[in-house]
Amino acid sequence: MGDQPADARDAYVIADAARTLPHTLRRVDAGDEALAELEVLVGFDDDLAGEATRVSNRIRGLLTQIHPALERVLGPKVQHKAVLELLSRCGGPAGLRKAGRRKLLSIAGPHAPRLGQRLVEQIMTALDEQTVTVPGTQAAETILPRLADSLRDVLRQRDQVAGEVERILDAHPLAPVLTSMPGIGVRTAARILLEVGDGTAFPTPGHLAAYAGLAPVTRRSGTSIRGEHPPRGGNRNLKRAFFLAAFAALADPTSRAYYDRKRAEGKRHNAALICLARRRCDVLFAILRDKIPYQHRPTTPVPA
């Protein structure tokens, strides 16, 4: 339409979407001050999480560049307090080797009473695997402590934000209902509460699943039906919250049994997790509708 105003056409498109796609719209509680504060805190926490991931990847990439064996030991635990303290005070492989086993134990012990001994032994074994000094190691020795301090500061901020989020959640009547589900912690509950509210905007669990991007999509072209495929749309924040909650719920016997059943059917890890998230979406809808906390069901039949 060029530079001509399109108010009438925009209004028609919005009204038609509200009529034909009600599951894509949700009610906004703009007057709730607590939810407004929660949204600011959760958004800031998302930024901190992204920064923590970036710095963690930078540390792992630097370790891989100068000492791959050491990265295999420290990389998976790079956000652990003991690992960050070791990197902050000793630096890279040269600093760790110079510190020696006894000093490393004194540094890691207070932050990892159980892990410390095994971690130090793994570090010493990894240091012995490589005898060649890679170019750039000296510079890495000075950069690694700064990166460790930066990551530790970001993680400390995340802990502080989590405390503030928990304080706001404690005052919300739906917080005990949300956190009663296995795998849903403070951060996940806050995200679900912001995106879903009390659940009354969704007539059925299917509408909630479609909004979260968990409902399978059937591709059609004329009279041709190509079967169901994983969805690519939906609310990305809500879908990620459901996915992470499903992953954390694998420690729950009921959720684990459902996940194992899907894996036995031939589904891969991510596909089985999406199936679990979709099933948990139905449970979440029910407990929000009834305002009743999650009830743990026994995995084995209970005798009468």
For the segment 90-120, what is each residue's pLDDT rounded down to a tens digit?
A: 999 999 999 999 999 999 999 988 888 999 9
Do 251 and 192 share a structural domain?
Answer: yes
Express as a percent the part of the chain with pLDDT over 70.
Answer: 83
Do 147 and 60 share a structural domain?
Answer: yes
Any domain includes 41: no
Any domain includes 9: no
Express as a percent the part of the chain with pLDDT over 90.
Answer: 59
Any domain includes 93: yes
Any domain includes 232: yes
Report the pLDDT averaged over residues 155-173.
92
CA–CA gap between residue 267 and residue 231 (Å, rounded): 16
Do 185 and 150 share a structural domain?
Answer: no
CA–CA gap between residue 204 and residue 59 (Å, rounded): 45
Do 187 and 162 share a structural domain?
Answer: no
- Please, are residues 299 and 254 in contact by the beta-carbon 8 Å criterion? yes
pLDDT for the residue numbered 28: 46
Any domain includes 27: no
Any domain includes 292: yes
**Greatest extent of the chain over all pairs of C-alpha atoms, in Å:** 76
E strand or H helix at 49: helix 33-66
Residue 19 reports pLDDT greater than 90 = no
Owning domain of residue 251: 174-218+228-304
Categorize the per-residue pLDDT at 232 as very low, low, confident or very high, splitting at 50, 70 and 90. Answer: low
Do 279 and 250 share a structural domain?
Answer: yes
Of the CA atoms within 13 Å of residue 166, those in its CB half-sphere come to 10
Domain count for the chain, please give it. Answer: 2
Other CB atoms within 10 Å distance of the CB of residue 149: 14
Do 183 and 296 share a structural domain?
Answer: yes
Residue 303 reports pLDDT greater than 50 = no
* Best CA proximity match to 62, nearest among 9, 137, 174: 137
Do 242 and 150 share a structural domain?
Answer: no
Do 206 and 129 share a structural domain?
Answer: no
Residue where a domain terminates, one of 167, 182, 207: 167
pLDDT for the residue numbered 218: 58
Do 192 and 141 share a structural domain?
Answer: no
Do 300 and 197 share a structural domain?
Answer: yes
- Please, are residues 37 and 172 in contact by the beta-carbon 8 Å criterion? no
pLDDT for the residue numbered 82: 94
Any domain includes 30: no
Residue type present at position 235: N
CA–CA gap between residue 233 and residue 218 (Å, rounded): 13
Any domain includes 12: no
At residue 281, the 3 state secondary structure works out as helix
